[in-house]
Amino acid sequence: MSRPLPLVLAQARRRAADDLDGLASDVRKRTTGLPAQPLVVYPELHLGGPIGGDGAAEDTPDALAEPLGGPRDRALAELAGDLGIWLAPGSLYERSPDGRVHNTAPVYSPRGQRVAAYRKIFPWRPYETVTPGAEFTVFDLDGIGRVGLSICYDAWFPETTRHLAWMGAELVLNFVQTSGSDRAQECVLARANAIVNQLFVASVNCAAPVGTGRSLLVDPQGTVRTEAPSDSDTTLTDVIDLDEVTNVRRHGTAALNRPWQQFRPDDAPLDLPLYQGRIDPATWTGRTTGASPLGESDEARHTLVEARMP
């Protein structure tokens, strides 16, 4: 069995919040001649982040935020439907019904519908002033597999990718806006998160002048499949097979390590004082209502997990 997924990772220069026509043209250019229904991924705050770089009032998160369900959201859904693609346009500033501003990553299906929206749980403080999200988010690609969402600094917290893997994610998209000298460490984290959770990780950074580039795609063994060598505007393309996740988890990384099969039913639970909780062998391999990290149940793996937004 094979579950191919065409990927288009756009290490792109940032666009203004209202430049939807420019985004549409850019998506068409990057997907021309590629397989049908690719998953197209842009960086953090690609559409609707500050572009002036001078701290202008019109570039603040509060000024740039728009509710989900607004004109921008509808235009992005229409774009995905018109082009027949899965569109992850990067994160943008979202104003919630209670007036708070979040750094939110939406995803749209080839049917022209928003299927997920993830609010960044770990904003980079004190620089980022947005309100943190409170829910991990995954969504299903029809008949292919499950994808988890994270935004930039989330990758520094191993709990994020581990929880997405536990929810059944086989690919984690990490939308990035890194302009500093720590991109080298982020590339290491992308590989580490892929290795310890045995899944694909796509870390997509902004191009210059906002970001330092070096976007990359890592497979479940921790091997870098494709990588941008610099900070220039670049398109990375690949077709990954999500069954590779199933195989690595079943047979082991390097045919040796199977962390998702670590515990046996008669093992005692391991207390985790840090979380005021514990690892219970009975729940280690994933949610019973979601996808198993071992990939036994196609029906469970392909159950759509809707984003729960207030």
pLDDT digits (tens, 9 = 90+) for 142-198: 999 999 999 999 999 999 999 999 999 999 999 999 998 999 999 999 999 999 999
Nearest partner of 37 among 2, 76, 87, 78, judged by Cα:
87
Kindly list the structural domains of the chain, giving each domain's residue range(s) and its CATH number in brackets, ordered by start.
Answer: 4-301 (3.60.110.10)
Q: Bigger pLDDT: 236 or 17?
A: 236
Q: Measured between alpha carbons, how far is 108 from 270 in angstroms, rounded to an integer?
A: 39
DSSP helix/strand/coil, 206: coil
Which tokens sit at 153? 């600094």
Band (286; pLDDT cuts 50, 70, 90): low
DSSP helix/strand/coil, 92: strand
Rounded to the nearest 10 degrees, how much is the dihedral formed by the CA atoms of 277, 281, 282, 287? 70
**Cis ω for the linkage preceding 67 (within 30 of 0):** no
Which tokens sit at 304? 């759509």
| Helix spans in the chain (H) | 20-31, 61-64, 71-83, 158-166, 183-197, 243-251, 298-301
Q: What is the mean pLDDT of the chain?
A: 90
Q: What is the pLDDT of residues 235-263, one digit of tens each?
A: 999 999 999 999 999 999 999 999 999 99
Residue 190 parent element (H or E): helix 183-197
Q: What is the pTM of this model?
A: 0.90
Write the CA distances from 170 to 146, 192, 289, integer angstroms: 6, 15, 16
